[in-house]
Amino acid sequence: MRIAISAFKVIKRYLFRKQLGKVGVNFFCGDDSRILLAKSFSCGDNVFIGPGAYLVCILDIESNVMLGPKVTVLGGSHSFGVKGELTRFLKPDPQASRKVTLCNDSWIGANVTIIGPLEVGHGAVVGASSVVTKDVPPFTVNVGSPSKPIKKIFSDDILRQHLILLGFSETYATSIVAKRNDKLDGTSISILDNTEEYRNVFSD
């Protein structure tokens, strides 16, 4: 019986994946997740989507991205406020398929709602239950409804070093630092760097 159930799950996941547009290696999508506009879905390598996701948009997920349980990503909203018409029976907003991009190494926490069009920047973290309605700067921690950046991940110099260590070019690293600073637009927030703490815990 257990073998039959396991085989059924493998087949179900295979058929689900075949419906999607472009999918990289090491892709995982949890149970009870729904991806509408499946042919407009694309993702890179090492993408993890937790259970109960509801994804309804043109969605581009780059590599090494994590989505926690019950993440909702919407490309737009339903039409409403039309004189003489019931909202329930209005035609969907033609912008409802607007694009959302989740960039490399971003982490979307549990129960987050993202309403596009927008981009979650490279290395950004969005805290659980946040509501995202505009672009998220690279390498920032973002929380709230609507979400806003509360911390930088690494100083500018360390961020540049971090990206080069991961194999990105110096030009790209410099552009990400510049993009973060541009998106923050002079906002002063604290800097987070967990390197020493992590290595003390997980050192060999």
CATH code for the domain of 27: 2.160.10.10
37 pLDDT more than 70: yes
Please name every residue paired with 36 in a beta bridge, in sequence order, or none if there are none.
56
* 71: number of Cβ within 10 Å: 25
User: Per the domain annotation, does 107 fall within a domain?
Assistant: yes
Q: Which amino acid is at 76?
A: G
| Structural domain harbouring 137 | 8-77+90-154
User: Per the domain annotation, does 29 fall within a domain?
Assistant: yes
**96, 75 in Cβ contact below 8 A?**
yes
Q: Total domain count for the chain? A: 1
**67, 53 in Cβ contact below 8 A?**
yes
Cis peptide bond N-terminal to 149, omega within 30? no
User: Per the domain annotation, does 161 fall within a domain?
Assistant: no
71 pLDDT more than 70: yes
**If 0-12 CB within 10 Å is exposed, 13-18 middle and 19+ buried, where does residue 86 land?**
exposed
User: Per the domain annotation, does 178 fall within a domain?
Assistant: no
User: Per the domain annotation, does 196 fall within a domain?
Assistant: no
User: Per the domain annotation, does 175 fall within a domain?
Assistant: no
For the chain, the C-alpha Rg in angstroms (whole number) is 19
**Coil, helix or strand for 117?**
coil
User: Per the domain annotation, does 130 fall within a domain?
Assistant: yes
- C-alpha–C-alpha distance, residues 194 and 151, integer Å: 12
User: According to the model, what pLDDT value does residue 14 have?
Assistant: 56
- Whether 78 is catalytic is yes
Give the length of the chain: 204
User: According to the model, what pLDDT value does residue 17 have?
Assistant: 60
As given in the structure block, the two tokens for residue 53 are 């996701």
* Among 24-33, 49-58, 88-97, the least confident range: 88-97
157 pLDDT more than 60: yes
- Statement: the pTM of the whole predicted model exceeds 0.85: yes
7 pLDDT more than 60: no
Of the listed 17, 22, 34, 78, which one is catalytic? 78
